[in-house]
Amino acid sequence: MLPSASQFIQTCKSHPVAKGGIQMLFGQAGAALATMLSYMFIASALGAEAFGKWAAIQAVVLVLIQFFTFNTGKAFIHYAERLKQTDYADYFQHKLARLCFLLDLTSSLLACLSAYFLIPYLPHWLEIKAEEVFYAQLYALTAIGTLSHLPIAILQFYQKFSKVAWFIALNSGLRLISLVVCFFLLPKEDHFSGFLLVWAVFEVFIPIIFLISASHFIPKHKKYLSYSVLEKCPNFFGFIIKTSLNAFVRLFPKDGDILLTGLLLGPAAAGILRIIKQLSSIVMRIIDPFTQAFFPEINKLVVQKQLNDLRKLNRTTLKYCIIISLFFWLGFTIFGYPILLLIGEDYTQSYIALVIFTAGASVMTLSAPLSPLGLALGIPGKLLINQTIAVLAYILSIFWLHSLLQLNGISISYLIFSITWTSLMFFTVFKKLSLWSPSQ
């Protein structure tokens, strides 16, 4: 049974997850709206085929970012909470942050260099103009955005959710305004490269802001100890590798499917799929603030071995995820066609694909609180196996259905992926939770 309105309001004011989630939601809602309008604006200005090429360049960089990302944000929250229980906690948290930053810096440089040298090979199948390749290579610099993962995690760990939310919202809003200015100032033939350059500038800008802000909250400790932080963080690199492999496997449903769609169905289909994915991501944008606030709190409950509170928090979160996902899918079923018509007539043919894809996104929201819970319970390896099975099902379904149903086949494949992943997550996490006891 869901709490009454008065109970819900009181919970939002007092509970760390609800309070942090609400703070993040306002900023994320603004950021999501600005980002969605940005994609719609670019898609309308360029047309389906040119936007497909633009989206493919973006997808290449995003895939390489995920490939090299070490996912240190999750590791920092996971181990920083445990370091609270040790002597010289401030010292070790400071050393942990430094170690995580060095890993992030390495990964961002690798992603930048890989994208820079790979992008010149794209024109062979995307028909990108030679003069646009240079701007596409500049876009590779957005791989530096991986440096924002750690400072965001630090701000979340110290309950500074409002700072994260408003920085993201401000960045997305300024980017939208800059795209509009770019549209009016540049001639039509330069819109493709101009939009890439504007997007790149703001992707580089946001990690700098986060790094400056997070540096004020890292504990300063001048005392030198002979102990290594790794001695206080058992299996640190094992945790990093498993969570990074999870992120690597997820790169296909996040952005790799756009590249595969472009290869199989052409650039126009890739552009339409990017719009569908951006619209369907709204529900995760709503859920994401609460899951970001959820992980530090759920991690704390696991460390403190509060089993009953852990189960209660998880049940309540799942109830709200079900309600939000249902309303979201019904909304796009009703209003999806007018939204696509607003972007351009080229995109209205994808209405059925949008309805099917948003159904898959709705199913995925049910697994949103289960991933952080699984990490907190110490089963990243099992989550990786689940995700690998689901992604393989996605890839095989695309190869099977794309020739029969075109873009609708891609959306059905995503629905298959979502159902497979969510079902496996429920089974794995709830089995672990039923076996887990405070003595562990």
Q: Tokens 């942050």 map to which residue?
A: 97
More confident residue, 4 or 241: 241
pLDDT in tens, 166-203: 777 888 889 999 999 999 998 888 888 889 888 888 88
Q: Which residue in 275, 253, 261, 274 sits closest to 367, CA to CA?
A: 253
Evaluate if residue 357 carries a pLDDT over 90. yes
Eight-state DSSP code of residue 220 = P
pLDDT for the residue numbered 356 = 93
Tokens of 108: 């961002």
Inter-axis angle of helices 72-83 and 149-157, nearest 10? 30
pLDDT > 90 fraction of the chain, expressed in percent and rounded:
12
233: pLDDT confidence band, cut at 50, 70 and 90? confident
Distance CA 323, CA 304 (A): 30
Residues 6+ apart with CB under 8 A from 248: 66, 67, 69
pLDDT for the residue numbered 83 = 79
14: pLDDT confidence band, cut at 50, 70 and 90? very low
pTM: 0.76
**Interval 236-255 mean pLDDT:** 80
Distance CA 355, CA 353 (A): 6
pLDDT in tens, 392-429: 999 999 999 988 888 999 999 999 999 999 999 888 88
Tokens of 292: 């970001």
Q: Which amino acid is at 229?
A: V
Helical (H) or strand (E) element with 151: helix 149-157
**Interval 71-87 mean pLDDT:** 78
Tokens of 100: 């995580």
CA count, 13 A, side-chain hemisphere, 74: 26
Is 263 in a helix, a strand, or coil?
Answer: helix
